[in-house]
Chain A
Amino acid sequence: MDDIKTLTLAGALEGLRAKKFSSVELTQALLDVMKPSQADIHAFVTIDAEGALAQAAEADRRRAAGEDAPLLGAPIAMKDNMSVIGQPCTASSRILEGYIAPYDATVTAKLRAAGAIFLGRTNMDEFALGSTTQTSGFGPTENPVARGCIPGGSSGGSAAAVGGGLALAALGTDTGGSIRQPASHCGIVGVKPTYGRVSRYGIVACASSLDQVGPMTKTVEDAALLMDVISGHDPMDATSLDIPVPRLADAWAGADPAKPLAGMTLGLPKEYFGDGLDPEVRALTEAAAKRAEALGATLREVSLPYSPYGIPTYYICMTAEVSANLARFDGVRYGARVSCDDVLGQYLKTRAQGMGAEVKRRVLLGTFVLSSGYYDAYYNRAQKVRTLIKRDFDAAFATCDLLLAPVTPEPAWPLGVYQDDPIRNYLSDVLTVGANLAGCCAMAIPAGATAAGKPVGIQLLGPNFGEPTLFRAAHALELR
């Protein structure tokens, strides 16, 4: 087998199809690197070695019988907020300890039908509320590349697993940058699809109007392979759209190898290159833009004038939805329960003990912005600004095919820093929340590293359902 740590999903599928190795061998090789990494990286909250090997044996049997499927025998890591029947699904919260998912999320069912194997569940910020994976109820995850630093979050476990070579590929969820930011910090590819492209059914909801599931992979090609499996309308998710789904693995077919971006206009949003941007991040982003130009793209500066309002708007919309979405975790029907003589006491004790400080902070904020007397000043106003932010993007995409921008204002910071400064953490989402508020598609791709060796990614943003163009450009620009 090739070096398991650098093996891509496409490479693994090629090896399986060529019978260079079996799915059992592949799965075992991954389990062998996963297990020892738990002590320091801690990318996983659950590893299902037995289940994964059984699924791998079944995949090998099918392949021996002449069958094939898009992902037959390929192990995929799932973020801990995705339902996989029979596996725990805690969203890294103590309040869901003991809960076993009784059904498959739609993305799980689609991966399963495509032959994928579920080898483990990746760590995350509790209920996806965070951007460091330090708020997990089961202990933090460490960046496997920039050691001693945060992996980003909330899909930090998935990013660390893929970036550290512990998984071929993973799924994450992106509510305000939760796929792109950790992908950038761990040197991998992370896709936030257009809102409504991928079903949310069976994903523990963070903020329903912002959440999207997406792939986290070593290459753009791998991301396309997963997108082609998980995308599409789902009758179980009323917000998923029933429109044609173009095949993304063909997105870059036929491009001129010398000028693959010929005819494409990339916009550089000037508000995303402001004063707060780390110089090394700025330099690497500008280098990526130069590379795009060399590959045939036309660059132009654009403005997203409402972006300064992105953070407050996002934190109002998100916390409001979170406060309602997390209300169901009350210990009555499933998960952990702290008993009490009366029902109010049971609610209070269960939630006080089961939820971490950041979760409580956001539930309180969300409850406040929806409260009578404050609703118009906060929630209602935020909805109006959200519409203006969306119009910013519509205007930008009227003159550009895609936007190119940094993902985070600075590279991964050391573990423990800013831990007690929630505002500082919130501000680091400033470059990613726009795509979620507008609903458009976006992708982080590796763009190099700082002098200290910390990975830095850039993001490409595309209009709603502009994934084919997004993938075509990303495939040309990613640094492999």
Chain B
Amino acid sequence: MEYEVVIGLETHVQLKTHTKMFCGCGTAFGATPNSHVCPVCLGYPGALPTLNGRAIRLTVMAGLMLGCEIAKRSRFDRKNYFYPDSAKNYQITQNDAPLCLGGHVDLPGGRTVRLNHIHLEEDVGKLTHRPGCSGIDFNRAGTPLMEIVSEPDLRSADEAIAYLTALREMMIYAGVSDCNLEEGNMRSDVNVSLRPKGQEAYGVKVEIKNMNTFSGIHAALEYEIARQTQALDRGQPIVQETRRWDPDLGETFTMRTKENAEDYRYFPEPDLPPVVLTQEQIDAWAKDLPEAPAARRERMMKDYGIPEYDAGVLSADRALADFFEAAAKRSGNGKLTSNWVMAEVLALTAKEGTHVKDSALTPEALGDLLKLLDAKTINGPTAKALLPELFAQGGDPAAIVKERGLGQVADAGAIEPLVDAALADNPKVVADYKAGKQAALGFLVGQVMKRSKGKASPQLVQSLLRDKLS
């Protein structure tokens, strides 16, 4: 039988805060175990949580980016369960009054994935098992997490990855999270079920817990879809359960079935008053919101006349897009600026292993350089030769060009003797050209350019050569 795949994701995104959700401890990754802890995040007797206002602001910004309705009044709840990675044996989360409601993520192909809600919660500690004992590192305990819960709108593993990619791009863009996958900044629980094509009712779903790489999620989904398809084809029922993905074996395994599902006994967190937001507050935060990447891509194509591919590459990186726009405004030539950023600037950043925002090259300097090029004050090779210097040390292109006399020579009278000399010195090449070898012209242009110390206008040299050789 043919089945339709139904996938929903619950994605935990670590918020970019300096301190934890409910205490003043730092959130830096990779510190010595249990060095970022205090009575609050260790669940010591008498310690109380206080709310990190920045976590609220970042979640509201994420909600606004994703088109959610921001709840004017939300609340925290306690989720009760015993596990050693939880210092209080309950987790502070938002169960039935989350901060953001609804929302959507638009996929590149035009499909829209609806969101159910976004809520805030605290992360737990990290367990490490050794022979005969286990260790707990509470550095991560209490780190603010935003859980983005989608509706079951995804229809394939590829679509799930497209959704996560778009979500990640938006969260990085909004400055809400680094979404560093290796550091576990973005982890997903995946719900997947199958239903016969054309049937409206959902099939029995299986949840695969806590995966942080996109390739792992894709492989786990492919495996699970194949497993469920096979079971259904054989007439075996799917059991509602939670499964674990083993990346080494490439299989999912049962963790617990519905019968053993925990009763979390949620109830309102009495230590924290409800979070009350005014429209003025939300509006003020909305002002800090960057343009969404997709909207920016569209606008940049229109404003600068650049191709979709260029706009896509540039808009995917907020700092790069900011750099491009500032440089393009300065140069007055969007297409030229885009070509230079895409080819020359990105080649330099790749070579140096850095980001342009961390280099000495300012968008103003690049704009000025391209303005000189556009006005034919300097030629292309000169501009290319100057770029690495500006990238490494900075500087004012116009001043450098003036000081070093790099201005392009576009005076035919000054270049003609150099053309004549080059022709006289290379009779064999001239003969080749006259015999129909077009490539010989390029060699001759190079010879003239060399004699001009790179300052001659290549177009002028070419036209003079053609005149003399015809």
A interface residue numbers (CB < 8 A to B): 81-83, 89, 91, 96, 99, 101-103, 105, 200-205, 207-209, 235-239, 320-321, 323-324, 327-330, 332-334, 343-344, 347, 367, 370-372, 375, 379
Contact = CB atoms under 8 A, between A and B. Distances in A.
A265 to B, nearest CB: 32
A205 B46 contact: yes
A371 B84 contact: no
B47 A201 contact: yes
B426 interface: no
Counting chain B residues whose Cβ lies within 8 A of the other chain, the interface size class is 20 to 34
Given A204-B45, A347-B82, A235 B88 contact: no
A177 B39 CA distance: 28
A190 B266 CA distance: 35
5 contacts: A102-B39, A103-B39, A332-B136, A334-B44, A375-B265
Given A321-B270, A327-B89, A371 B48 contact: no
A353 B73 CA distance: 43
Given A239-B273, A332-B136, A89 B45 contact: yes
Interface in B117-154: 134, 136
B258 to A, nearest CB: 13
Contacts of B82: 327, 330, 344, 347
B265 A328 contact: no
Contact of A201 (B46, B88, B263): B46
A89 B273 contact: no
B80 A371 contact: no
Contact of B78 (A102, A203, A324, A372): A324
Contacts of A208: 270-271
A310 to B, nearest CB: 18
B3 interface: no
A101 B88 contact: no
Given A330-B89, A343-B84, A96 B43 contact: no
A418 to B, nearest CB: 29
Contact of B90 (A202, A209, A324, A371): A324
Nearest to A91: B45
A238 B272 contact: yes
B46 A328 contact: no
Interface of B: 39, 42-51, 78, 80, 82, 84, 87-90, 134, 136, 263, 265-267, 270-273
A372 B44 CA distance: 28
A237 B48 contact: yes
B124 to A, nearest CB: 13
Contacts of A367: 265
Contact of A327 (B80, B134, B270): B80
**A203, A207, A235: residue with the most chain B Cβ atoms closer than 10 Å:** A203
Given A330-B82, A370-B267, A200 B87 contact: no
Nearest to A200: B48
A203 to B, nearest CB: 5
A370 B48 contact: no
Nearest to B264: A372
A333 B42 contact: yes
A317 to B, nearest CB: 9
B136 A239 contact: no
Contacts of A101: 45-46
Contacts of B47: 201-202
Given A238-B272, A327-B89, A333-B87, A83 B45 contact: yes
Given A324-B90, A328-B89, A89 B263 contact: no
A379 B45 contact: no
A364 to B, nearest CB: 12
A83 B315 CA distance: 54
Given A321-B270, A324-B267, A372-B265, A89 B46 contact: yes
B45 A99 contact: yes
Contacts of B84: 330, 332, 343
Contacts of B39: 102-103
Contacts of B134: 343
**B263, B265, B271: residue with the most chain A Cβ atoms closer than 10 Å:** B265
B49 A209 contact: no
A347 B263 CA distance: 18
B81 to A, nearest CB: 9
Contact of A238 (B51, B88, B267): B51
A444 B287 CA distance: 54
B461 to A, nearest CB: 74
A204 B90 CA distance: 16
Contact of A371 (B46, B78, B89, B265): B265
Nearest to B78: A324
A208 B47 CA distance: 11
The 3 A-B pairs of least Cβ separation, nearest first, read: A327-B89, A370-B265, A208-B270
A347 B89 CA distance: 11
Nearest to A351: B82
Nearest to A346: B84
Nearest to B271: A208
Contacts of A344: 82
A208 B50 CA distance: 14
B90 A327 contact: yes
Contacts of A202: 46-47
A468 B47 CA distance: 30
Contacts of A204: 45-46
Nearest to B22: A238
A272 to B, nearest CB: 27
Contacts of B87: 328, 333
A89 B45 CA distance: 8
**B84, B270, B272, B273: residue with the most chain A Cβ atoms closer than 10 Å:** B270
Given A327-B82, A334-B44, A347-B82, 18 more contacts: A89-B46, A96-B45, A201-B47, A202-B47, A207-B270, A208-B271, A237-B48, A238-B49, A238-B50, A239-B271, A239-B273, A324-B80, A328-B88, A328-B89, A330-B84, A370-B265, A371-B265, A379-B267
B43 A333 contact: yes
Nearest to A320: B267
B273 A371 contact: no
A105 B46 contact: yes
A370 B80 contact: yes
Contacts of B45: 81, 83, 89, 91, 96, 99, 101, 204-205, 328-329, 334
A334 B87 CA distance: 11
B89 to A, nearest CB: 4
A455 B113 CA distance: 70
Contact of B46 (A83, A209, A332, A333): A83
A354 to B, nearest CB: 13
A203 B46 contact: yes
**A89, A102, A203, A328: residue with the most chain B Cβ atoms closer than 10 Å:** A328
B20 to A, nearest CB: 14
Contacts of A328: 43, 45, 87-89
A367 B44 CA distance: 21
Contact of B263 (A82, A236, A334, A371): A371
Contact of A236 (B48, B265, B266): B48
Contacts of B89: 327-328, 330
Contacts of A329: 45
A370 B42 CA distance: 25
Nearest to B45: A204
Given A320-B267, A328-B87, A102 B44 contact: yes
A147 B25 CA distance: 50
Contacts of A236: 48, 50
B136 A238 contact: no
A394 B266 CA distance: 30
Nearest to B46: A202
Contacts of A324: 78, 80, 88, 90, 265, 267
Contacts of A105: 46
A379 B267 CA distance: 9
A237 B271 CA distance: 8
B50 A235 contact: yes
Nearest to B43: A328
A334 B273 CA distance: 29
Contacts of A333: 42-44, 87
